[in-house]
Amino acid sequence: MPSKSDIQIPEFRGDEDFARELDHSDPLARLREEFHIPRATNGEPCVYLAGNSLGLQPKAARSIVLEELDQWARLGVDGHFEGERPWYSYHELLRETGARLVGAKPGEVVAMNSLTANLHLMMVSFYRPTRDRCKIMIEEPCFPSDIYAVKSQIGFHGHDPKDALVVLRPREGEWCIRWDDIASTIERERERLSLVMLGGVNFVTGQLLDMRRIAELGHRFGAVVGFDLAHAAGNVLLQLHEWGVDFAVWCNYKYLNSGPGAVGGCFVHEKHSKSFDLPRFAGWWGNDPSTRFKMHLQPEFIPREGADGWQLSNPPILALAPVKVSYDLFDSVGMDALRTKSMRLTAYMEFLLDALLHESCEAITPRNPAERGCQLSLKIGGNARNVLSKLHHRGVVCDFREPNVIRAAPVPLYNSYCDVWRFVESLRSIGKS
Ligand SMILES: *Cc1c(COP(=O)(O)O)cnc(C)c1O
């Protein structure tokens, strides 16, 4: 991983003119025009820093959904094979762009279901506990859905989460997890660890883990390694194929702007693409298309190669259409350019906050840009909910995580340097009031 000194961060100034200058010289500034920015009560566009929770709507989302509705009206069932984007193979339109987004080969990714459903499907195949090797390693804080999914899988296999869960915790008084603790935990549990299942970017702290090294170490000690990329996909650079990660899941409604409850994403490494003997929960869309419709003649499930073989149902086209729009947009810019702007934007926010932070407001996200995405998490000393609602009143949208954390995510696609300036200025004035 590059260290802070490897990453070029320009000198910043604290005045508003400087924010305008940064926007003026930002090659990606025009992308903001591609999105609907919600308005505050005074009619002005708000400062939207909650893209880590629900990304904004690309303007092109509406028309692509309407086009599919028209297709359905005009063609009925023939829309499966006719029209501009036949529904039968619709998910394949997202294959190449989705693969580039997470550093995968095209056959390794598929858009389907939702994050938690995909996590279960992946654990059905990749959590194969034996009596001696039955543990799953997760982190704290762990997103509730992930912990429920993991515990229920452990129970499903007849084990007790009390024995089979290894929880990686930050040290006393710290928020982020240290590499030494990750390494020593994997090593300590090496005889009993079946699966390492961590969030690539932590949803509370914004800490980005070194997934390459974790995969390497997990594999060295005989564990399967999977990641939840809910806060990583569309936020940081990923090389899932090269890192040898066994599987990964993510949602497309956070940084990937595909709409509330959008269809999720799933990665299965090529090394498992022909592992047809793995247990899996099957459905017709995962079946080889050449025998898919011969159900009564061919009742045996014949999985497709690659990630496609884990699909269950024919996809919800109206929900998949905005994902296509979003992936195309990301692909037209490229993650490298987005990450470059993202690091600057977040460094700028950190610079402005540094002048402001004191005991009542402390940043808990790693300071090294290589160990975080765009989100900065602030521990608020007073009443954090109160601060959040005062921000909202000033047209600044962030979000809150128990017990006292405000998360602010300046995203490179639609946030500006002026957004960041206004956010910090609002915090300053709330602090004084
Ligand atoms: C957002 C998020 C989820 C949400 O799960 P869904 O199945 O999409 O509702 C799960 N895990 C993590 C880590 C998340 O950040």
SS (H, E, C) 357-400: CECCEEECCCCCHHHECCCEEEEECCCHHHHHHHHHHCCEECEE
Q: Which of 278, 304, 332 is the last residue of a domain?
A: 332
Residue nearest to atom 1 of ligand 1 (CA): 230
Question: Based on the domain organization, do 421 and 302 belong to the same domain?
Answer: no
Question: Based on the domain organization, do 230 and 293 belong to the same domain?
Answer: yes
Question: What is the CATH number for 407?
Answer: 3.90.1150.10
CB atoms within 10 A of CB 184: 11
Question: Based on the domain organization, do 209 and 350 belong to the same domain?
Answer: no
Question: What is the CATH number for 269?
Answer: 3.40.640.10
Q: How far apart are the first and last CA of the chain?
A: 42
Query: Which ranges in 261-311 belong to alpha helices (H)?
Result: 289-292
Tell me if 7 sits within 8 A of 208, measured CB to CB: no
Question: Based on the domain organization, do 328 and 341 belong to the same domain?
Answer: no
- Residue 339: which of 250, 412, 417, 256 has the closest Cα? 412
- pLDDT of 20: 97
Residue 48 lies in a domain: no
Residue 244 lies in a domain: yes
For residues 72 and 78, what is the distance between their CA atoms, to the nearest angstrom? 8
Tokens standing for 32? 């903001």
Question: Rounded to whole angstroms, what are the CA distances from 216 to 33, 242, 274?
Answer: 41, 11, 22
pTM, two decimals, is 0.95
- Classify 275 as helix, strand or coil: coil
Residue 57 lies in a domain: no
Total domains present in the chain? 2
Question: Rounded to whole angstroms, what are the CA distances from 313 to 173, 284, 287, 310, 381?
Answer: 46, 6, 10, 10, 48
Indicate whether 359 pLDDT > 70.
Answer: no
Question: Based on the domain organization, do 404 and 376 belong to the same domain?
Answer: yes
Question: Based on the domain organization, do 320 and 360 belong to the same domain?
Answer: no
Instruction: Verify whether ligand 1 is closer than 6 Å to residue 138 (CB atom).
Output: no
Indicate whether 387 pLDDT > 80.
Answer: yes
For residues 69 and 94, what is the distance between their CA atoms, to the nearest angstrom? 19
- Residue 288: which of 309, 311, 267 has the closest Cα? 309
Residue 59 lies in a domain: no
CA of 121 to the centre of ligand 1 (A): 15
Question: Based on the domain organization, do 315 and 183 belong to the same domain?
Answer: yes
Indicate whether 384 pLDDT > 50.
Answer: yes
- pLDDT of 302: 86
- pLDDT of 299: 73
Residue 49 lies in a domain: no
Which helix (H) or strand (E) segment holds residue 268: the answer is strand 265-268
CA of 44 to the centre of ligand 1 (A): 31
Residue 289 lies in a domain: yes
Calculate the average pLDDT of the chain. 94
Instruction: Verify whether ligand 1 is closer than 6 Å to residue 143 (CB atom).
Output: yes
Question: Based on the domain organization, do 411 and 271 belong to the same domain?
Answer: no
Question: Based on the domain organization, do 125 and 200 belong to the same domain?
Answer: yes
Q: Which of 283, 299, 332 is the last residue of a domain?
A: 332
For residues 409 and 263, what is the distance between their CA atoms, to the nearest angstrom? 22
Residue 313 lies in a domain: yes
Residue 299 lies in a domain: yes
Question: Based on the domain organization, do 16 and 94 belong to the same domain?
Answer: no
CB atoms within 10 A of CB 354: 13
CB atoms within 10 A of CB 305: 13
Ligand 1 probe mutation, 146, 231, 258, most atoms within 8 A of CB? 146
Indicate whether 9 pLDDT > 70.
Answer: no
Question: Based on the domain organization, do 257 and 354 belong to the same domain?
Answer: no
Ligand 1 probe mutation, 53, 142, 143, 266, most atoms within 8 A of CB? 143
Q: pLDDT band at 301, cuts 50/70/90?
A: confident
Residue 58 DSSP label: B
Q: Which of 274, 306, 332 is the last residue of a domain?
A: 332
Ligand 1 probe mutation, 116, 236, 399, most atoms within 8 A of CB? 116
Question: Based on the domain organization, do 281 and 373 belong to the same domain?
Answer: no
For residues 390 and 407, what is the distance between their CA atoms, to the nearest angstrom? 15
Indicate whether 335 pLDDT > 80.
Answer: yes
Residue 414 is part of which domain span?
4-34+334-432
